[in-house]
Amino acid sequence: MTRLRDLLPGAALLLALTMGMIWLPSDTRLPMEILLVFAMAQAWNLLCGYAGLLSFGHQAFVGLGGYALFLTVNTSGLPLAAALGASVLVGVLAAAVMALLLRNLRDAYFSIGIWVLAEVIRLSFGQWPLVGSSRGMMLDASRLDLASFAEMVFWLALALALATQIAVFALLRSRFGLGLMATRDNDVAAASIGVDARASRFVAFVFSAVVCALAGGIYYLSVLYIDPTGAFDLDWQIRILFIVIIGGVGTLEGPILGTLIYFALRELFQGQGEMFLITQGALALAVMLIAPRGIWGWVQDRTGWQIFPTRWRVG
Amino acid sequence: MTLLAAVLNGLMVGGLYGLFGLGLALAFGIMRVVNIAHGEFIVLGAFLGATVLAVTPLPLPVVVLVVAISAFAMGWLMQATMLNRLVGPNPIPAMIATMGLSIIIRNALVAVYGNNIRAIDIGPVQNLGIEVAGVALGVLPLAIFALSVAMFLAVGLLLRHSTTGRAFRAAADDFEILETLGFNRRRVYALAMGLAVTLAAVAGLLLAVRSSFTPFSGIERLLIAFQVVIIGGLGSLRGSFLAGLFLGVVHVVGLSLNPNVGPLFGHLAFILILILRQADLPAILTRRGR
């Protein structure tokens, strides 16, 4: 039974954050980036924190989503909605092929196996003349309405972020989510009561890939230019990892908190790229040693607070 | 470069790739820790060696020794102060911690040395060559290959015939029994990580003597090490060595065909092996034979 009191705090938080993003005193670029990075982080959190698959290769989906959109717009002249559809399609296909290649690799083998695949994709795009090889390509903006362009990209990003948060919340409260968490906590026991771990892991993997592909599509749409070094940059993955780990892996609130911390730090460290990255690495390391469930996990262990409750309560 | 020369050069680089993989496999086999910073230690060995060579008059063999000792200390410290707290059935915390460490080392190297491509100049030895069966081979690459073979043999001897080595192998199988025999598990782990990082840094320095490197080379080196482990199998010295040789040949031959693709051919060979393994070759071959 879904009860209002389970949904209310989360809805209130999302509303407040949405308002904050809309009225953030800056142009729409920063809030757009915040929303997209958050969506990627939350999707990756579903994969790592709930399905138990640690991926070091999600930058592949970001880049593929961007390239899918650019190729569709530049070569077919289809409307933008279709180009975003192409990002989704490429995300699903890439995830399915990767899942097939990596299906026998567990744990660490999966983590680094997908990293190798991401490198293969990056190096291949650097050799592909149709997408401008390593020089990259420009988006054909002749059919875009440039007056409302920045606004539109912002609303797309907001929609993706909200949809991701709500979808992950709904997924985890469903039968599927219960199975996923049961497998994570005790795979033998979960299998013995009929939970298909392989299938639920696959769903989580494809979901995370599609969100990252869409976010990549929207991000590079706003930039109007894409190249393999940037689009398949490991920094996308480091950003996602940092946000989820700091905020709290395996909690729905963690990535929200992590995203806020990440962008606050970035403003603080403006112009000092290496120091910013060193700080991220050091904080991730410190969290693992001191509070492996991140800041929100630490709070939750002591207070039992859940803004997005995934547990069912009796009574 | 003729194909034969490329293959021979690949074999000689491959000995070092095998050592990359051996270090990663030791850490993973013994304490179930996948050290994501392995590639950064490989590059750190190169930068450390280059710096010592530049500021002191020490000859290369002594510098290798200096790098080996510092690398052992770093690996020992990393395991004793951090990773020993994270070992357990779940491999994810240690992987994230070492990922954090790799980001720190990589960007610290950029901050200190800048992100230019570097090479180590050790004087006229670099250009000495001999001709074997009509193929010109460098004396330095040959010496490096001999050294990597020697390191493989030394690790084999250590694992088979020393108390520490036996403790390593016992820890890989069952650390609880090891503890009942009076060994301190955490000390065994720290020694093993010291050895793993030493292998990484020394092989990294030796590779740097014969090719260029940047602070970002660690990622590529980590992926090579990992591919060596998967292709060669965990817990097999011979497997690591042969897988290293195979990847070395693929890389050098690939680069002689297309110098712009970096490690792409090595990655593709790795994926091909993954596919072939899944295809269950024995079953297909027997079906065809029937």
**pLDDT in the model for residue B289:** 44
CA distance, residue A149 to nearest chain B CA (Å): 36
Q: What are phi and psi of B203, to 5 degrees?
A: -60, -35
Q: Report yes or no: B95 and A106 within 8 Å, Cβ to Cβ.
A: no
Interface check B86 vs A, CB under 8 A: yes
Contact A289 B97 (CB under 8 A): yes
Per-residue pLDDT of chain B (290 residues; tens, 9 = 90+): 688 888 999 999 999 999 999 999 999 988 888 999 999 999 999 999 999 999 999 999 999 999 999 999 999 999 999 999 998 888 889 999 999 999 999 999 999 999 889 988 877 777 787 777 677 788 889 999 999 999 999 999 999 999 888 888 888 887 788 888 888 888 999 999 999 999 999 999 999 998 889 999 999 999 999 999 999 988 788 999 999 999 999 999 999 888 888 789 999 999 999 888 877 665 655 655 44
Q: B128 is written with which tokens?
A: 């000495």
Q: Which residue of B has its CA nearest to A53?
A: B92
Q: Do A288 and B270 touch (CB under 8 A)?
A: no
Nearest to A278 among B82, B108, B220 (CB): B108
User: From the CA of A256, how many Å to the nearest CA of chain B?
Assistant: 20
Determine contact: A154 vs chain B, CB below 8 A: no
Whether A278 and B107 lie within 8 Å, measured CB to CB: yes
Which parts of chain A sit beneath pLDDT 70? Answer: 1-2, 311-315
Query: Which pair of tokens denotes residue A70?
Result: 């650019």
Q: Between chain A and chain B, how many beta carbons pairs sit less than 8 Å apart?
A: 115
Residue B128: burial class (beta carbons within 10 Å; 0-12, 13-18, 19+): exposed
Q: Which of B93, B106, B107 has its CB closest to that of A288?
A: B93
- Report ipTM (2 d.p.): 0.90
Would you say B13 and B228 are in contact if contact means Cβ atoms under 8 Å apart? no
Report CB contact under 8 Å: A241, B267. Answer: no
pLDDT of amino acid B280: 65
The nearest alpha carbon in chain A to B36 belongs to A112
Residue A315: what pLDDT?
A: 46
* Closest of B227, B190, B176 to residue B27, by C-alpha: B190
Beta bridge partners of A44: none
Which residues on chain B are in Cβ contact (under 8 Å) with A280? 100, 103
B112, burial (CB in 10 Å: exposed 0-12, middle 13-18, buried 19+): exposed
Q: Which two tokens stand for residue A106?
A: 């567990």
Q: Does B267 touch chain A (CB under 8 A)?
A: yes
- HEC-encoded secondary structure of chain A: CCCHHHHHHHHHHHHHHHHHHHCCCCCCHHHHHHHHHHHHHHHHHHHHHHCCCCCCCCHHHHHHHHHHHHHHHHHHCCCHHHHHHHHHHHHHHHHHHHHHHHCCCCHHHHHHHHHHHHHHHHHHHCCCHHHCHHHCEECCHHHCCCCCHHHHHHHHHHHHHHHHHHHHHHHHHCHHHHHHHHHHHCHHHHHHCCCCHHHHHHHHHHHHHHHHHHHHHHHHHHHCEECHHHHCCHHHHHHHHHHHHHHCCCCCCHHHHHHHHHHHHHHHCCCCHHHHHHHHHHHHHHHHHHCCCHHHHHHHHHHCCCCCCCCCCCC
CB contact under 8 A, A241 and B96: yes
How far is A110 from chain B, CA to nearest CA, in Å? 11
Q: Distance between CA B47 and CA B221 in Å, rounded?
A: 14
DSSP structure string for A80-106:
HHHHHHHHHHHHHHHHHHHHHHHTT--
Cβ distance of B103 and A275 shorter than 8 Å: no
Contact A107 B91 (CB under 8 A): yes
Quote the CA–CA distance of A111 and A239 in Å, as a whole number: 16
Q: How far apart are CA B207 and CA B37, in angstroms?
A: 18
The ranges assigned to domains in chain B are 3-289
Contact A296, A247 (CB under 8 A): yes
Alpha-carbon distance of A212 to A27, in angstroms, equals 23
Interface residue A127 vs chain B (CB under 8 A): yes
For residue A2, the model assigns a pLDDT of: 62
Asked if B197 and B189 count as a contact pair (C-beta separation under 8 A), the reply is no
**Phi and psi torsions of B213, nearest 5°:** -155, 160
- Across the interface, do B271 and A116 touch by the CB < 8 Å criterion? yes
Phi/psi class of residue A224: alpha, beta or left (left: φ > 0; alpha: ψ in -120 to 50)?
Answer: left
Question: Does the beta carbon of A119 lie under 8 angstroms from any beta carbon of chain B?
Answer: yes
Q: Chain A contacts of B28, Cβ < 8 Å? A: 108
Contacts of A285 in chain B (CB under 8 A): 82, 97, 100-101, 104
How far apart, in whole angstroms, are the C-alpha atoms of residue A210 and residue A91? 5
Q: What is B3-289's CATH number?
A: 1.10.3470
Give me the pLDDT at residue A149, please: 83
From B276's Cα to the closest Cα of chain A, the distance in A is: 10
**Quick count: other Cβ atoms within 10 Å of Cβ A23?**
8
The verdict on B53 touching A (C-beta cutoff 8 Å) is no
Give chain A positions within 8 Å (CB) of B261: 123, 126-127
Cβ(A182)–Cβ(A201) below 8 Å: no
Q: Which residue of A has its CA nearest to B99?
A: A281
DSSP string covering A295-313: HHHHHHHHH---SS--S--
CA-based nearest distance B289→chain A, Å: 27
**Res B287: pLDDT:** 58
Do B271 and A101 lie within an 8 Å CB cutoff? yes
A94 min Cα distance to partner chain B (Å): 15
- Contact yes or no for B13/B207 (Cβ under 8 A): yes
pLDDT given at position B282:
59
Contact status of B272 with chain A (Cβ, < 8 Å): no
